[in-house]
Structure 1
């Protein structure tokens, strides 16, 4: 995020690139070939739904279906090559930055898509805030290497870019878009190409004094850096596809990412949790009521530290942290963890705001100590949508842990200190739809 009074290196540099886009004459509709980001797609149901929406849906590239990882990546590469040969996908004729607009009801978001230079004078101008898991990074790296493409932009947030805002808003209000479509979730998407040298120069000059926070896409960011290191300098691997949004003008929404524990029945989870948390069954048995109870419990924690003393709180429960456990057609609220057990479980080598994060307490106390759930894809699934998390837990006979979102200022404060939050702590959005514009690494 931008702070003009901070001394930091040159800011992010966005390079124009020749966008790789679907040719609308060769697909059923542009909406039918888009997908949420790969880590938001609920598998297998959501993936199957997208695959059947259109034979050219981008999910076949970002989540190819095959028996082994190597087979999946080779399949994606063959699919991409075939779509290019058939003219289903084509590169734009000249390099450009792209103005991207999303409108969801009354919420409007606009930003700039470009190829971000990954290192150089601007080293340190991009701030990550979450740890990553080695498995997904290795998988995304193998997929990008096989396809030689950035198939999805990650989302970066910065603040106070008036010159860029003028370019973005003039383009979005005065020019016809390259594409316009409305996806099945009701979100309207529009895209414009920016090629005017004066506009490109104005954006580059302004970003030189900015910092950007990775709002979404930490695994893709780690993948970009890994692949850059694995290739000699001066290639297309020195850049990665991003969407950059000025959150002064277009504030992002911050949501939680929930956990589904397929191997842990809810009865067992509740029985063990009673030794360290206050556990209450929520009357009504409906998701809306459960989320309201979680919101109230988290609101009570504002101004309360884990030991009950006064102070500036985060999204924690009264005197501690709060979660909702879903399973067996019921909802239970967990709050007020035992302060002694909490201090014993949470590492002491991090700042206090990090120690009080719901994700920190969940993983350090409940998952690691109480439930002893391994941190692997077979045992923990990260689901962005609350209904999908509850539904999946019911289908698998497991437990869904519903969480409250972290305050944005906590994310930024920790990022500036260089402190990584537990992985999958936050979900910023709206996220860019996958499939609207991609980037071939070989074309820069």
Structure 2
């Protein structure tokens, strides 16, 4: 595989240099979001692998065989981690963050700006006492995978393959660990963006009947608009969607021809009665599931959110354009999934619906690499 050849060449020609001491890397990302400057501070380290349900590592997304195989084949060929898995942990008292901040006052080892104008800054922490302090603080913490589920499951598979070749497995082997980026759940720079849903044309759709049927489950508030006021009205709807979503279950709806609506769920029991599966209430009451069960399933007869019926987009403007200019049927605007919802659901080993979360900003690939040297072990 070309990736393995490139990596070996970079190491051989000293384009990439291996740090001569064990280290943890403080990683800060600076962004401008919604007119505000923000920063997120975490760290990159190795985590000893645990099977889901048998330790303190919790996923929240479904994975797909092809994507897992791609990651596994890369690990087999290159014996390395090229990207960090994005994980979340609770640092309510800020102890880990306080330790990291002691090291980010000096000039960073790396500073780069990506195409989205996100500034990435990296510092190496190789002081033994600081590493020990962070390790001790993290020892009993639950870890929630935010992004990188396929890489984590590929790492589990790679470990299993390597164990069969090693009769003296000790758990300290490098391949029994994954390179991860850890960010606090409480960090104000932890941003979750929503995925809006756009419905493709459906046979036998009756707009007037659909609008009437919505009142079975929702209080329907229209937002009158015309060509001149459409953008302003959309922004007003999204603002009200966010504000109302702090206390209620709400969805935004666009039916084309400048017709906007705010949908407020009338009664949670309506949704709970629809869901035959034994699921935690937090899962049932996700906005994405309310949309799926009440609207897609009951009113539109879309049993599954498949790509041939639903388009996902992070842009409300794109959602509207798909309806107005590309002949799509309607668009639904969602609030971001709350971090509390993710933790509550993942803690029960349940998975969120497809396209429920988009963590921003993304991690920059290649800042730190983890090469599995033959026979090397991890000792803390």
TM-score (norm: length of structure 2): 0.74
Cα distance in 2 for partners of 1:377, 1:138 equals 22
- State which structure, 1 or 2, has the greater radius of gyration over its C-alpha atoms: 2
Cα distance in 1 for partners of 2:180, 2:257 equals 40
1:359 match: 288
1:292 aligns with 2:223: no
- Give the Å deviation of 1:239: 1.8
DSSP 3-state at the match of 1:349: coil
Cα distance in 2 for partners of 1:282, 1:441 equals 60
Please list, as runs of the form range in 1=range in 2, the aligned pairs for 1:359-378 lying within 5 A after superposition. Answer: 359-369=288-298, 370-372=300-302, 374-377=304-307
Aligned residue pair count: 349
2:194 match: 256
- Give the Å deviation of 1:337: 6.2
Q: Is the 8 A contact 1:345 1:364 kept in 2?
A: yes
Q: Deviations over 1:179-216 (max 9, x none)?
A: 11222322211111122222211111111132222233
1:171 match: 103
- Give the Å deviation of 1:267: 11
2:5 match: 81
DSSP 3-state at the match of 1:177: coil
Q: Is the 8 A contact 1:272 1:371 kept in 2?
A: no
- 1:102 pairs with one of 21, 29, 39: 29
Q: Deviations over 1:191-246 (max 9, x none)?
A: 11122222211111111132222233334333433443444155543222211123
Cα distance in 1 for partners of 2:369, 2:324 equals 36
Kindly tell me: are residues 88 and 330 of structure 1, through their superposed partners in 2, closer, same or farther at Cα, counting changes over 3 Å?
farther
Q: Is the 8 A contact 1:130 1:420 kept in 2?
A: yes
1:237 aligns with 2:175: yes
Q: Deviations over 1:371-398 (max 9, x none)?
A: 5265445554544444455566778654
Q: Is the 8 A contact 1:346 1:365 kept in 2?
A: no
DSSP 3-state at the match of 2:292: helix
Cα distance in 2 for partners of 1:172, 1:269 equals 59
Return 5+ residue gaps in structure 2 as ranges.
164-168
200-209 or 223-232, larger mean C-alpha shift = 223-232
RMSD of Structure 2 on Structure 1 (CA): 3.9
Q: Deviations over 1:95-115 (max 9, x none)?
A: 432111111142121111112
Q: Is the 8 A contact 2:241 2:335 kept in 1?
A: no
Return 5+ residue gaps in structure 1 as ranges.
1-76, 304-312
- 1:283 pairs with one of 198, 213, 225: 225
TM-score (norm: length of structure 1): 0.65
